[in-house]
Amino acid sequence: MFCSFTDSRLTPAMRDAIARAGYCTPTPIQAQAIGPILEGRDVIGCAQTGTGKTAAFAIPLLELLTRADSPHAKRGAGPRVLVLAPTRELALQIAQTFDLLGAAQGVRTLVLIGGESMGPQLAGLHKRPDVIVGTPGRLFDHLERRSLVLGTVRTVVLDEADRMLDMGFAPQVERILRVTPLDRQTLCFSATMPREVETLVRRHLVRPARIEIGVSAKPVAKVTQRLYKAPTQDKTPLLLKLLGEDLGRTLVFTRTKHRADRVARAVGAAGHRVTRLHADRSMSQRREALDGFRNGRYRVLIATDIAARGIDVPEIAHVVNFDMPHTAEDYIHRIGRTARAEASGRASSFASPEEHEQLRVIERHLGHQVPQH
């Protein structure tokens, strides 16, 4: 077990970086994962976002990259760590964590995601990054045009593996794994463990350490969940009422991009600082929206599921399911946006009569009813 960040398995520079990031004690997944990763073992981690899982792999991998005696240490030899993530936003956040903890130690991290032009990515590759974080589609494109060679990779991380497979990325993930060395270390993190993820693990991981945090696929305990039964036409007034009562940062999920736009217009017209995040917005618009939400320029962010996957904004006070998600996994992921790490939060779900079946499926999975307001 890795119970303290003053553990002698970390170099003083790494301990300093962790202290500068403001992390005092390892979260449960960090306590369990850091040791096996430092030993070079494969790891399968069942953990939700908000548990500190990004740092659980970033800390030991950065440690290996900066240690002179580790096979990861060959500077300038080509990438030694490759992280695959389902969405661009999650990839950017993972890279931020690597930069936060590793940039001062000279570790260079490059992001390779779709929706951005190739030029800067190719220039970034010429600078020989140590860590590459990317989405499977764009990584695959780089492999096809031979701008990316993965023969030096020592560790591959598959983050949110369930979501990557759900999104149909299995062929790209398989191809990427095939072109990395066989004796690599493989780490797989997933909020849920469907059969597809188990198959992937059986095929590509060698005697992995199994780490499970909390009961798998159950929402973070600190979230206060509330259900509002409301016909579709009453949802916007209900949202405006809740926004008036609770002044914290609020993340609202809608089913479609079109609805996200419409709800954002209504919320803006009511005088709230609001922005939108969905797949029809350009990369720079999305960044502006997320940065603005993070730094407080916007108090309300209206988003669709895919776009908001994995976004990490500290202190989201309130998550609103304006539309019910389709699966229990999505519900858990959405409400996991609030009550991250140490904070606690609130999740309100609006269910119209047409959505009651979805609600029943979610409640069956949770094992309890969502308390009604």
**CA dist list (Å): 45 to 6, 93, 212, 346, 353:** 23, 19, 6, 26, 37
Q: Indicate whether 235 belongs to the interface with ligand AMP (CB under 6 A).
A: no
Compute the C-alpha angle 57/288/263, nearest 5°: 105
Distance separating alpha carbons of residues 136 and 158, to the nearest angstrom: 10
Using the contact rule CB under 6 A, the part of the chain among 19-27, 120-128, 221-229, 358-366 near ligand AMP is 19-27
Using the contact rule CB under 6 A, the part of the chain among 26-34, 108-116, 156-164, 202-210 near ligand AMP is 26-34
Per DSSP, the three-state class of 372 is strand
Q: Indicate whether 135 belongs to the interface with ligand AMP (CB under 6 A).
A: no
Q: Indicate whether 26 belongs to the interface with ligand AMP (CB under 6 A).
A: yes
Q: Indicate whether 345 belongs to the interface with ligand AMP (CB under 6 A).
A: no
User: Nearest distance from residue 259's CB to ligand AMP, in Å?
Assistant: 26
Q: Indicate whether 23 belongs to the interface with ligand AMP (CB under 6 A).
A: yes
User: Nearest distance from residue 209's CB to ligand AMP, in Å?
Assistant: 18
Q: Indicate whether 72 belongs to the interface with ligand AMP (CB under 6 A).
A: no
Distance separating alpha carbons of residues 87 and 134, to the nearest angstrom: 8
Q: Indicate whether 125 belongs to the interface with ligand AMP (CB under 6 A).
A: no
Q: Indicate whether 50 belongs to the interface with ligand AMP (CB under 6 A).
A: yes
User: Nearest distance from residue 133's CB to ligand AMP, in Å?
Assistant: 13
Q: Indicate whether 102 belongs to the interface with ligand AMP (CB under 6 A).
A: no
CA 367, distance to chain mean position in Å, is 25
Positive or negative: CA dihedral 220, 324, 192, 161? negative
Decide if 62 contacts 38 (C-beta within 8 A): no
Q: Which is nearer to ligand AMP, 91 or 370 (CB)?
A: 91
Q: Indicate whether 160 belongs to the interface with ligand AMP (CB under 6 A).
A: no
Using the contact rule CB under 6 A, the part of the chain among 43-51, 130-138, 224-232, 247-255 near ligand AMP is 43-51
In SS3 terms, 225-267 reads as: EEEEECCHHHHHHHHHHHHHHCCCCEEEEECCHHHHHHHHHHH
Among 10, 14, 17, 27, the residue binding ligand AMP under the rule CB under 6 A is 27
Per DSSP, the three-state class of 35 is helix
How many residues touch ligand AMP under the rule CB under 6 A: the total is 15
Q: Indicate whether 315 belongs to the interface with ligand AMP (CB under 6 A).
A: no
User: Nearest distance from residue 100's CB to ligand AMP, in Å?
Assistant: 8
H runs (alpha helix) in the chain: 12-21, 28-38, 53-66, 88-102, 118-126, 136-144, 161-166, 170-178, 195-204, 235-245, 257-269, 283-295, 305-308, 328-335, 356-366
Decide if 307 contacts 277 (C-beta within 8 A): yes
Q: Indicate whether 278 belongs to the interface with ligand AMP (CB under 6 A).
A: no
Q: Indicate whether 2 belongs to the interface with ligand AMP (CB under 6 A).
A: no
Q: Indicate whether 51 belongs to the interface with ligand AMP (CB under 6 A).
A: yes
Lateral strand order in the sheet of 250-254:
223-229, 345-351, 318-321, 250-254, 300-304, 274-277
Q: What type of residue is 163?
A: R
* Partners of 83 in beta bridges: 133, 157
Q: Indicate whether 172 belongs to the interface with ligand AMP (CB under 6 A).
A: no
Among 33, 53, 95, 148, the residue binding ligand AMP under the rule CB under 6 A is 53
Q: Indicate whether 219 belongs to the interface with ligand AMP (CB under 6 A).
A: no
Distance separating alpha carbons of residues 79 and 82, to the nearest angstrom: 7
User: Nearest distance from residue 5's CB to ligand AMP, in Å?
Assistant: 7
User: Nearest distance from residue 53's CB to ligand AMP, in Å?
Assistant: 5
* Residues at the interface with ligand AMP (CB under 6 A): 23, 26-27, 30, 49-55, 312, 314, 340-341
